[in-house]
Amino acid sequence: MMTKPAASDLSDDPADGGRAASPAPAAPGASAGTAGTAVTAGTRRRTGGRSARVRAKVLAAVGEVLVAAGYDALTVDAVAERAGVHRTTVYRRWRDVGGLLADVLDAAADDTWEPADTGSLEDDLTTLNQEVYDALHPGHPGPGGSLTTALIAASFRSAEAAGALTRFWEGRYARCAPVVARAVDRGEVPPGPDARALLVAATAPLYQELLLLRAAPDPALPRRAAGAARAAAAAGVFTRAPDARPAA
């Protein structure tokens, strides 16, 4: 479910020969990951072609360093060298490693990804789980593993990355809610399910097996976990009581 960073809306940095834009007040909700807002500056800035290219190179470099060498090798200088930009540019825009990681995650969340509509709940969940499986187990040999696993690991070392990762997952589960709504409309599950609880139940086994237990690859895992969640949902396990409120 991780995707490549979106285009930047940061202004050109004077250190790169561009002209800095005057920052505007942050939009409501910017601190919670408003798309297109610089994480460390807390301001929304103009989009610039040069700036977008610089941001894309820097965020790509963050992922490359993280996957190739792990979190301990991730420094502003290492990212600047890999991206081919001046270290001052990175310091001015992102300040530190935490700012870089948070921007990678917020950029990944600023995309158009939507869950598949296959016509059945189990197949929808299986397709979703296959994406998770592929992201967690792509066979990268580097110390950081896949970019997804490397970012998850980094979130335990950086408070800014942890906050951005939480925003990322909350956004992804919210986008997946229609999967459950469609299942209700088709009569596959009883009305009133807790969509997030169902989706977490479907995806959690993959994180447990591949991240925590570091189990051997199991191509059957995505469908097995999806089938179990579908059966539980059909039995009413995730159905809320009439007066219960949806999970926050």
Task: Please list the pLDDT of the chain residue by residue as tens digits (248 residues).
Answer: 443 333 333 333 433 433 232 222 222 222 233 233 333 333 334 445 889 999 999 999 999 999 999 999 999 999 999 999 999 999 999 999 999 999 999 999 989 999 999 999 999 999 999 999 999 876 545 555 789 999 999 999 999 999 999 999 999 999 999 999 999 999 999 999 999 999 999 999 999 999 999 898 899 999 999 999 999 999 999 998 776 565 55
Between CA 96 and CA 101 the distance in angstroms is: 9
Residue type for position 122: E
pTM value? 0.75
Angle of CA points 204, 200, 117, to nearest 5°: 110
The CA distance from 54 to 222, in Å, is 37
Determine the longest span between alpha carbons in the chain, in angstroms: 62
* Alpha-carbon dihedral 45, 51, 56, 61, rounded to 10 degrees: -110
User: 10 Å Cβ neighbour count for 119?
Assistant: 9
pLDDT the model gives residue 138: 60
Q: What is the pLDDT of residue 143?
A: 58
Sign (positive or negative) of CA dihedral 104, 130, 156, 147: negative
Q: Which amino acid is at 114?
A: E
Distance of alpha carbon 158 from alpha carbon 223, whole angstroms = 33
pLDDT, position 146: 87
